[in-house]
Structure 1
Amino acid sequence: MTRGPTISDPDLEPDPTRPAARADHPHGERVQPHWRRLVGDRALVGVGALALLAALAFLAVDAAHNQGRFVPPLDDVYIHLQYARQIGLGEFLRYQAGAPRTTGASSLLYVLLLGAASVVLPAGLLLYAAVAFGVVCFVVTVVLVALLGRELGSRNVGTVAGVLTALCGPLLWGATSGMEVALVALLVAALLLAFVREQPVGHFVVTPVVAVPLVITRPEGLVLVVAVLAGAVVTLVRRRRRPPIGVLNCSVGKNALLLVLPLLVALAQFGLYRLLTGSAENTGVEAKSILSLPLGSPLEVVDRVTTTARTALELVGGVTTTLVVGPGVVVLAAIGLAAVASRRPAVAGVLVLGLAGVLFAVSTLQTALWHDGRYLQPFLPVVVLLSVLGVRAIGRAAADRRTGRVLTTGLVAVLAAFAVVSTPTWALRQGEQAAGIRESAVSVAQWLKGNTPPDAIVAVNDVGATAYFSDRRIVDLVGLVTPGFARAALDGPGAMYEQLAHLPPAQRPTYFSIFEDNGLVSVGELPKARILGDEPLTSFQLKSPVRDDAPFGGICQTAGGCPLISVWRADWSHVGSGDLPDDPVPGRIVDRVNVGDPSDEAAHGYGVDRALVGIVPKSEIRNQDVAGRVVVDSGRHVVGGEHFTLRGLTPGRPVTLTARVDAREPVEDRNTGAGVVAVGVDGRGVGDWAFATEVPGLPAGAEHSWAQSSFTIPASAVTAPEITVSLGPRQPFLAPYPDYRSFSYWVAQ
């Protein structure tokens, strides 16, 4: 009895999806078109149908959790829809009419496609068009994975890889979310398939053509494209040393020029961003990148990135969870890579370089594991395929064919079992998360539309649904779609307050719609700036079930991190209240250092001299009642010291330096000298300064935010119109260190 082929066997019959050679038709019979062979291939039709059914099941679960309507499982979907709607209205890269151009959408190609759809579709159908497009892309991706599996393994390898991809829970989550995940996955699979087919003959035409849309779809796509182009260049260089093959005797130089096209398109995108927005950097990357954080030490950055990469590898590789692909997938994928390397070293090199590059690029983001690993989802089909190739290699290494067949069948059954069990969990996760978004972002947006005037300006820390549904002007506190806020948000609530205060009065928010903390920006501290009303106008207490955020980081509104969203009326009456000292100072004020305001700090060369690496001096915001009026000021927590340059001085005259500082002892009833600093001017010590800790007129121990005190810089130290002042420990290097919060310094002569 003959046995059917398994994934451990070589192909036992020609692949009907490959073009037929002329020799196969000696009588001149017409070759069946390639697309007809694909449609007639039962295995490909089967995996495509399975993918479609799985995607439709996800949509059904989502609708079941939302009273029969589909709702995206994350607010970011509405960011793409809003940009797309504006593109349809002729407002390219403008999030709202009249707003400056921004790059808050992470996928340029995706919003362009949706923008084209918005021209012909009613506004209410744009979301459904995005979801339908995602489903189609997902089905095509599964078919392409099956074809890629045939190229690198066998027909059965392709079929098994296609089935497991069709049942990949996190990929289904992303493909049906309304985001660009499925489009990226399709282009990734198509690019690798094109390269694998064209690399043996050393002639690359389809490869660069597919690479062009991928480079403008996601930043991670550009990383993979660079790896593929590197593999193509290596192939061309090697082929120059050998005679070309028959009909493909073409100029290597011309082919190399074609390979440059994707890189030129990527540069054109950066140039377009720079021309229209003033920055080539995507604002999403700027707002979320670990490289944007004020960590201070390159090793700290390396540690954060490598830790994130290790965690991602453990999750995707099945080390700490089996909900992504399956158990021990990282080992199977490594074996699969080794098997590919034994026959196709160039392909293996591209896969290693590309996947490692993508992992590193994603790991530079603070949000790398948010949204259920959305940035990694498009590359999961490659991991699945490599795992199947690893299973095939294990089977082939067995002592005999029967043992190999048992091994491969058992391992495939294990992977399939985990996929079948975990996929419904991902569908449930999406449905519950969608209900949380409906209850939070969408509901708040609808309330704003019905309860605020049409000219209202609303500050938010989740910008998608509010702009899409409320038709109100938006100030994005995270900085994705409002220029200037990305770095301020990362710097802390003090810098965010100062950025808001710097807005022209007519552009300041009239309302705030915020939840306390989303793990990225600390908007929960904004009430200390006294820019919110005494009581919220309304609050939304989320009641949808809290879904666990395993295995990846969840979404704040759906994972229980921010169950309360409130809408406040803005109050700008206290802006500028901290510009002057609380008490009079001798002489005329000639300069002020506003600590916590990044622009003023830059103007004064301000910096915190940290006593310990790892302590991040993020900005803060405080307020204090002073003689019956509210004073608001930003500041920083200083552990060690600080330095700044004073300007506008008259040389040869003493300077009175007045500080607004909270120098109370960090530990109650202790005397660590935390509020005493050594003062230096242009590198020369001029004495010690003990900051005041009590406010005159207040009982000792009464709660307050800061106290005011002064220090006189002698005339002999004022040798120029500008001097650099340093405040630091009296005993350098050794603890205890100065530990205080500085808010403002005034210079009087």
Structure 2
Amino acid sequence: MFDIFRQYPRRTLIVMLAVAAIASIYLAITVRFTMEQNDGHIGALLDDTWIHVRFAEHLSEGQGLAYNEGELTSGATSLLWVLTLAIPFTIFDPGIFSQVDIAIAMSAVGYVLTALAITAFGWWATRRAWIGFAAGLITALTGRYIWMGLTGMEITTFTTLCILSIWSHMQDIRDRRSLGWRTGILLALTTLARPEAYLLTALVGLDAVIFVPLRDETTRQARNQRILGSWRGIIAYSLLAGSYPLANLLIDGYPLPNTFRAKSQLGNETPDLPRAFFWMANVDHGAFFIVLAGIGTLYILWLTWRRKGTSITWALWPSVFILGVLFLGAERYVVNHSRYIAPSIPFNALAAVVGVWAISRLRWTSLMWLRQYLLPIGLVGILAVVTFARGEKNVHQVANDVKQLRRMHVQAGYWFDATTQPDEAIALNDVGAMVHISDRRVIDLEGLVYPEVIEATNDTADYTCEHDLQLARVMLKDPPRFIGVFPWFYPCLTEWPGALQPETIFTIRGPTVLAGGELVIYYPVWENWPMLGSLPPEITLSGARFADSIELAAYNFQVVENGLEVTLWWQAHGQPDEDYHVFVHLVDQRGHLVTLPDTSGALQTLQHDSQPQERGYHYFPTSWWRDGDIIRDTHIIQWDDLSIFTQPGYQINVGLYRFPSGERLVVRDGPLPDQDHVTIPLALNIRRWG
């Protein structure tokens, strides 16, 4: 892999130092500006950084893969990054903000290493130093990538390992091996850095087993020998990369981490192609860059087919990677400055420079100095200037994102620390800084570190009542003291009448990489929760079971200022098939609906029909009920003369019916089965209002 650098040691030193210097200077300028804008502080750009830091701290303390203390979970997307952070945490035992600083420093080193890796690989793959230098230069000047370098995340490490893995694989091909031990180890480390590397492993395997033998016209016997000779690489990869899926399987019963299960939208979303595919490159570099990268990719594929000892992986990987990420979640090309597809940046930079090389090799002029020197220098210069100009705003973005995270998540973490007791739980949809600073047990409403949420919401769509109600059930079983969310994430639950009482709000202004500009901390009012955990005391039990798995478990009457308040407690013994209306009728001794003239003389029936918990446009349809739910459902039969409700012999009929047909559900089990209602004596159960 390093043969060409041994031949030209002085040139290698100059090229590498130049790229490292450019990357380091750009990095230093960005850090200095960020600190100036944040009172001398540097900090995490993403809340996810705090998640990795907390996992690493617990690992360094011997707790294993735990986020909530003492609770193992497979919530770490990047096991390699957590293990890497745990090493200095174990040695130096830093405070929580120093832990974040260490993570940022290490990802910044990864940014420089990526620029150096693509420089060296580009030089080695093309045997031209200027191509490697240009690829490293463009990578270092890409504003989005320097943002990635200051996140404190695994992005730059993963990208560097991708480059090294492909480089090692191409060396294997030149050495007539399918998979050497070095490539196996590098691919395994890349897979442990991010699970998207399974795609890279598959691409390397297809290249080694199918494409290369087909291109080289290798006999079946020779191909089998090469595969059998790869046993060291296969074992190395299996042992290293297979360890984490096995651990996940033992911890949570699934081979992939919770983050994949919680965030993957495979089969549920369709990316906006081709716009999404080219979106990031167009924003970072412009249309001219995309054209050159396309030319370079085609040129690499053409060279690969014509020459032995080369590979299709370095040409196809950025496209395969971007498409894979987009189909796993169509919105990921914009989330967090496109961090999920940022690892394609250096490969696209190299492809664009190879495109310049391809154009320079065309014999469109006899002037060699123009074609082979002036043109490449000019085109690369244009790419570098445009890339820097387009990415300069990211320097300001880094400072802004640090400031916003400190104002919202960090301050909220201090608030939880001051307001809650150490043994109390909190429920959040961003579980990084707030949890690590407060050191409170968390119910993660996104499921990243709390797999019970994934199980509960697996078959529901985000931003729907079905989704929010499943979260309500989870929190009912494990009640938090406070719930801190971005309200638009959970529109149904946050607007449920009386269920959540706003306690405090943390706001930020302007464009943000966070999930929203307003984080609201709510106090849950459990008596107004959509469903209850148990029946309250001082009520009358019923036990009448209707068809479709619905039981009238209990009831209570109370004369209030404007009539009779009838409170019903329904219990679901399964998920009802339909949405039913509830009727509550006041009847006389003969079972006839009581009808009286009102003040205007018009006859009015004393009844109340509605969907369960109906309040204006809000209600709780029976089709949303789940097995075990206890639903508190209040109805008011309005009448000004309250004495009517104390008449002897008056009763209340309660039941359910299909709307609009009026067909009633039959009582299957109760005092009088096979009736279409439950009759409750009124005088024996009434309570006075006030």
Same fold judged by TM-score > 0.5? yes
| Two-structure CA RMSD over aligned residues (Å) | 4.3
Alignment of 1:311-390 (within 5 A): 311-318=275-282, 321=283, 324-345=284-305, 347=310, 349-363=312-326, 364-365=328-329, 367-368=331-332, 369-390=334-355
The CA deviation string for residues 25-61 of structure 1, in whole angstroms up to 9 with x for no partner, is xxxxxxxxx9xx3896201111012112222222223
1:424 to 385, 392, 409: 392
In structure 2, how many angstroms separate the alpha carbons of the residues matched to 1:197 and 1:169?
31
Alignment of 1:251-270 (within 5 A): 252-255=227-230, 258-259=233-234, 261-263=236-238, 265-270=240-245
Q: In structure 1, what is the equivalent of residue 15 of structure 2?
A: 43
Shift of 1:386: 0.3
Question: Aligned AA for 2:149?
Answer: A
Question: Aligned AA for 1:531?
Answer: A
Question: Aligned AA for 1:224?
Answer: L
Q: Are residues 540 and 251 of structure 1, via their aligned partners in 2, closer, same or farther at CA, if it must alter by over 3 Å? A: closer
2:105 is the counterpart of 1:132: yes
Alignment of 1:206-605 (within 5 A): 206-234=182-210, 237=213, 241=218, 252-255=227-230, 258-259=233-234, 261-263=236-238, 265-291=240-266, 301=268, 304-307=269-272, 309-318=273-282, 321=283, 324-345=284-305, 347=310, 349-363=312-326, 364-365=328-329, 367-368=331-332, 369-400=334-365, 401-405=368-372, 406-486=374-454, 488=457, 490-491=461-462, 492-502=464-474, 507-517=478-488, 521-522=489-490, 525-528=493-496, 530-533=498-501, 535-536=502-503, 538-543=504-509, 546-547=510-511, 554-556=513-515, 562-575=516-529, 576=531, 588-589=544-545
In structure 1, how many angstroms separate the alpha carbons of the residues matched to 2:382 and 2:550?
62
In structure 2, how many angstroms separate the alpha carbons of the residues matched to 1:425 and 1:393?
31
In structure 1, how many angstroms separate the alpha carbons of the residues matched to 2:569 and 2:40?
48
Q: Are residues 63 and 103 of structure 1, via their aligned partners in 2, closer, same or farther at CA, if it must alter by over 3 Å? A: farther
1:165 to 105, 129, 139: 139
In structure 2, how many angstroms separate the alpha carbons of the residues matched to 1:512 and 1:588?
36
| Maintained 8 Å contact 1:144/1:193 | no
Q: In structure 1, what is the equivalent of residue 31 of structure 2?
A: 59
| Maintained 8 Å contact 2:300/2:315 | no
Q: Are residues 47 and 747 of structure 1, via their aligned partners in 2, closer, same or farther at CA, if it must alter by over 3 Å? A: farther
In structure 2, how many angstroms separate the alpha carbons of the residues matched to 1:747 and 1:61?
72
Could you say what secondary structure the match of 1:116 adopts? helix
2:125 is the counterpart of 1:152: yes
Question: Aligned AA for 1:532?
Answer: L
Alignment of 1:696-735 (within 5 A): 696-697=637-638, 709-711=656-658
In structure 1, how many angstroms separate the alpha carbons of the residues matched to 2:211 and 2:330?
37
Q: In structure 2, what is the equivalent of residue 117 of structure 1?
A: 88
Question: Aligned AA for 1:241?
Answer: T
Alignment of 1:65-104 (within 5 A): 65-99=37-71, 101-104=72-75
| Maintained 8 Å contact 1:83/1:105 | yes
Question: Which structure: greater helix fraction?
Answer: 2
| Maintained 8 Å contact 2:35/2:399 | yes
Shift of 1:586: 10
Tell me the TM-score normalised to structure 2 length: 0.74
Tell me the TM-score normalised to structure 1 length: 0.68
Larger radius of gyration: 2
* Number of aligned positions between the proteins: 582
The CA deviation string for residues 620-674 of structure 1, in whole angstroms up to 9 with x for no partner, is xxxxx99669999999xxxxx96699xxxxxxxxxxxx983699999xxxxxxxx
Question: Aligned AA for 2:611?
Answer: R
Could you say what secondary structure the match of 1:98 adopts? coil
The CA deviation string for residues 541-560 of structure 1, in whole angstroms up to 9 with x for no partner, is 325xx13x6xxxx432xxxx
Shift of 1:422: 2.4
In structure 1, how many angstroms separate the alpha carbons of the residues matched to 2:185 and 2:75?
26
Q: In structure 2, what is the equivalent of residue 681 of structure 1?
A: none
| Maintained 8 Å contact 1:541/1:565 | yes
Q: Are residues 627 and 392 of structure 1, via their aligned partners in 2, closer, same or farther at CA, if it must alter by over 3 Å? A: farther
Q: In structure 1, what is the equivalent of residue 624 of structure 2?
A: none
Question: Aligned AA for 2:76?
Answer: A
In structure 2, how many angstroms separate the alpha carbons of the residues matched to 1:272 and 1:367?
29
Q: Are residues 696 and 627 of structure 1, via their aligned partners in 2, closer, same or farther at CA, if it must alter by over 3 Å? A: closer
Shift of 1:196: 2.7
Question: Aligned AA for 1:697?
Answer: Q
In structure 2, how many angstroms separate the alpha carbons of the residues matched to 1:587 and 1:426?
64
The CA deviation string for residues 244-302 of structure 1, in whole angstroms up to 9 with x for no partner, is 99xxx9965122552464356444422220111122232212222223xxxxxx6xx3x
Could you say what secondary structure the match of 2:392 adopts? helix
Shift of 1:160: 0.9
Q: In structure 2, what is the equivalent of residue 604 of structure 1?
A: none
Shift of 1:357: 2.8
Question: Aligned AA for 2:304?
Answer: R
Q: In structure 2, what is the equivalent of residue 611 of structure 1?
A: none
Q: Are residues 243 and 147 of structure 1, via their aligned partners in 2, closer, same or farther at CA, if it must alter by over 3 Å? A: farther
| Maintained 8 Å contact 2:500/2:522 | yes
Shift of 1:110: 0.7
In structure 2, how many angstroms separate the alpha carbons of the residues matched to 1:407 and 1:192?
29
Could you say what secondary structure the match of 1:216 adopts? helix
In structure 2, how many angstroms separate the alpha carbons of the residues matched to 1:626 and 1:359?
63
Question: Aligned AA for 2:342?
Answer: Q
Q: Are residues 377 and 631 of structure 1, via their aligned partners in 2, closer, same or farther at CA, if it must alter by over 3 Å? A: farther
Shift of 1:391: 1.1
Q: Which sections of structure 2, spanning at least 5 residues, go unmatched?
A: 552-561, 581-608, 618-634, 641-653, 670-675, 680-690
Question: Aligned AA for 1:480?
Answer: L
In structure 1, how many angstroms separate the alpha carbons of the residues matched to 2:565 and 2:105?
60
In structure 1, how many angstroms separate the alpha carbons of the residues matched to 2:487 and 2:153?
26
The CA deviation string for residues 376-417 of structure 1, in whole angstroms up to 9 with x for no partner, is 112210000000000111121141234424433332222111
Identity across the alignment (%): 21
Shift of 1:567: 2.4
Q: Are residues 747 and 375 of structure 1, via their aligned partners in 2, closer, same or farther at CA, if it must alter by over 3 Å? A: farther
2:169 to 195, 209, 233: 195
Q: Which sections of structure 1, spanning at least 5 residues, go unmatched?
A: 1-14, 21-33, 292-297, 557-561, 596-624, 636-640, 646-657, 667-693, 700-706, 721-745
In structure 1, how many angstroms separate the alpha carbons of the residues matched to 2:610 and 2:285?
58
2:5 is the counterpart of 1:18: yes
In structure 1, how many angstroms separate the alpha carbons of the residues matched to 2:29 and 2:491?
37
Q: Are residues 235 and 508 of structure 1, via their aligned partners in 2, closer, same or farther at CA, if it must alter by over 3 Å? A: same
